[in-house]
Structure 1
Amino acid sequence: MTNDYSQMIKDFSSFGIELTDKQLDQFDKYYQLLIKWNEVMNLTAITEFNDVCKLHFVDSVSGCKFFDFSKEEFSLVDIGTGAGFPGIPLKIIFPQLHITLLDSLNKRLNFLNEVIDQLGLNESGSIKTLHGRAEDYCLAKEGSLRETFDIAVSRAVANMSTLSEYCLPYVKVGGSFIAYKSEKAQEELKDAKGAIHLLGGKLVSADEFLLPDSDVSRTICIVEKKENTSKKYPRKAGVPSKQPLK
């Protein structure tokens, strides 16, 4: 390993996570692959080593401050996973999770499939990639993934109303939708209150915090699925982002 992971080790330790040699090796391979593939396709604007560690790897796992991912073999779908955040770092830290990485761009999934292979993440067949828009697999009658997951996560940039319409239909009643927001999200959450209720959810927490040893502000929003989502949602592809629910 040519990079110095001492700061990342310290950051994870602040979450109560002590990284194993295997996990460090997996993060190192992930970083190398991210930089290599980023030269030929747009995966991330963040490429400097320390920034990737803090703003991608540590950030992706920061949800564990407010939700216990280690408790069970949860099924988890990462909506709009992009370069694999937060799904891949969560899988590295919590290998018992059954993870589906959903993205609309096949080229990104080719990258993720290589990451999964090179990091040895699929030894138990518990991580897979899925090509499509968020709306696709909840609208399709055959092979629908509607309300089949314990957890949906997303670190996408959409507003909370739109994200809720993308994610809550995938969550089974009693499960949780966890949104990673980059800034203080109180105003956004206020605007999304009606949408969350309409989709069968209830906001149970929205915790603001700083990433370890930084001034980078984050908010983790946890929505519990209380009732089945009406079959009216999600609406057709493109509509949730153009006309967010009120």
Structure 2
Amino acid sequence: MLRIDIEPTAGAARIVIRDFVELRSESMGEVHGLDFIDNRTFVVANRDGLVAVFALPQGDPAGQGHEISPLRVIKGSRFCRLRTPGSVAVRRESHGRLSLLVCNNYTHRVTRHVVHRRWGYRALWNQVLLEQGLDIPDGIALSHDGRWVAVSSHGTNDVKIYDMSAPLGPETRPAGVLENANYPHGLRFTQDGSHILVADAGSPMVHVYASDEGWKGRRTPSRSVAVLDDESFLRGRASVEEGGPKGLDID
């Protein structure tokens, strides 16, 4: 975990790492995705295992290393078992509940696990939330108004967008599709919900998609921005699926 400052300069913003802490746990394996529940609690998706909820150690980071134990390990249920969880997004629900939306990479579906802090983040409800149209769901993001969920689909080379204003289930078809991304990975909605940024692992680009009062239908990027130079991109180009940016977030 890095403590950073983003400082404006005459040329471009400068990112300064002020402090860090290294966290290790037997419940961290092939860590692929994570999201914060609040400023002190976060959830990790391990591709080789399960989903684990952790609390940050007390005190300043001070460049220390800590061995930590999970507050809860989430496995799913008999008919909604977690398998190869890769990415996770936290959605706040009514009455203090939280939904953990998890991309199960190689079973090609998104599952929902409802937890509550009061019950130690034990899963109170598990369901298969999305499956239609997904082939290796790699990244997931929620719009800030809670209306839309976007899932990058590695095997179909696109991003599927689902309307959360209606009930969702395995047979729910995507309301919209973002096209022309080679191998979409991490993605984020802008604060006002008017754009989605998509990191393309198969190119040096981040693609920008614009809404038109919603995300229904098919659309191509309104802009693509190179975030890697050719030398850096080719250094990681082990296959056509690699070398480009993967995760991203918006400050």
Q: TM-score, normalised by structure 1?
A: 0.31
Return the index of the structure with the highest Cα Rg: 2
More strand by share: 2
More helix by share: 1
Q: TM-score, normalised by structure 2?
A: 0.31
